[in-house]
């Protein structure tokens, strides 16, 4: 397997085999990232394609300070955000007062990736984006606010609502699973 350094060098020189190697290495993981941000599979594929074009275009700016995967992930997330922004997907984000979140979830994490992805996909775009950025990709509210052009308060409220919606969905899902086990 090609090491990271020579992989980057090969891509920068425009060698197609290296570019394809990079794609193969990260496309699977990044597709999952795109699926989280997108509302549909088709949209996720669109994000991924655009993101990789951008990755090859901007690879010379990679500073080798962090992992390549982390850099690629950031590019993918930002591409997804840009695409969403260009399509005005944030129309459903409104300035609202922050809601104090007291929800507590007592569910086992026995759900599959697909179940969780479906739950996220069912969220409104604003909730979904903020939740993805905060809960999964590790951005803080200040970064989210800057990236999405909203206030930090809005970001917090969107997150709280997303959590509440997901909690309900998780509990509902768990009940369905439990019932299925009982009937066996």
Q: Footprint of another protein on this chain (CB under 8 A)?
A: 14, 16-17, 19-20, 23-24, 27-29, 31-32, 35-36, 45, 48-49, 52-53, 56-57, 101, 103-107, 109, 111-113, 116-117, 120, 131, 134-138, 163, 166-167, 170
In the bound state with another protein, the residue whose beta carbon lies nearer, of 78 and 91, is: 78
- What gap in Å lies between CA 62 and CA 74, rounded to an integer? 11
42: Cβ contacts below 8 Å, ≥ 6 apart: none
In the bound state with another protein, the residue whose beta carbon lies nearer, of 96 and 101, is: 101
- What gap in Å lies between CA 4 and CA 46, rounded to an integer? 26
Q: How far is the CB of 27 from another protein (least distance, A)?
A: 4
Composition of the chain by helix, strand, coil, percent to 5: 75, 0, 25
In the bound state with another protein, the residue whose beta carbon lies nearer, of 62 and 111, is: 111
């Amino acid at each position: 397997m090609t090491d990271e350094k020579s992989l980057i060098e090969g891509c920068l020189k425009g060698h197609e085999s290296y570019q394809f190697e990079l794609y193969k290495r990260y496309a699977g993981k990044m597709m999952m990232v795109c699926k989280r941000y997108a509302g549909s599979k088709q949209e996720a594929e669109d994000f991924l394609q655009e993101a990789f074009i951008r990755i090859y275009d901007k690879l010379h700016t990679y500073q080798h300070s962090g992992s390549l995967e982390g850099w690629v992930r950031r590019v993918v997330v930002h591409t997804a955000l840009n695409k969403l922004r260009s399509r005005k997907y944030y129309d459903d984000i409104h300035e609202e007062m922050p809601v104090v979140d007291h929800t507590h979830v007592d569910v086992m994490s026995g759900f599959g990736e697909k179940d969780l992805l479906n739950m996220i996909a069912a969220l409104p775009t604003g909730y979904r984006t903020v939740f993805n950025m905060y809960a999964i990709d590790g951005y803080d509210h200040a970064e989210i606010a800057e990236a999405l052009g909203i206030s930090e308060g809005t970001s917090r409220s969107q997150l709280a609502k997303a959590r509440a919606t997901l909690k309900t969905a998780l509990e509902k899902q768990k009940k369905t699973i439990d019932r299925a086990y009982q009937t066996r």
